[in-house]
Amino acid sequence: MSKNQRMFDLLLELLITGMIVIGISYILVSLFVFGVSGESVTLSIYFLINLGSGFSYAVRQTLTADINMLSTQRIHEYTTIKSE
């Protein structure tokens, strides 16, 4: 695993964790201020965690597809270079 990929993984996890923390904070404020039921809070936290993992999966798959497309483009360029 390269240094760039490790850094990307770290930043992506920090983004997802930040999203979840902000969402849980908002939900807890709603619980105490507006009197939302505990079941709704639990369901909201569950959805936040699933949303975070889905977002992470989508970003990783998009990055993998982009890398594969660049790799294919590079192979095509190498095959069309005139030999010396």
Domain ranges, ordered by start, for the chain: 3-79
| Predicted local confidence at residue 49, as pLDDT | 85
In terms of DSSP H, where are the helices of the chain?
3-34, 38-79
Q: Is the pTM of this model over 0.75?
A: no
pLDDT in tens, 30-63: 888 888 787 888 888 888 888 888 888 888 888 8
**Residue type at position 33:** V
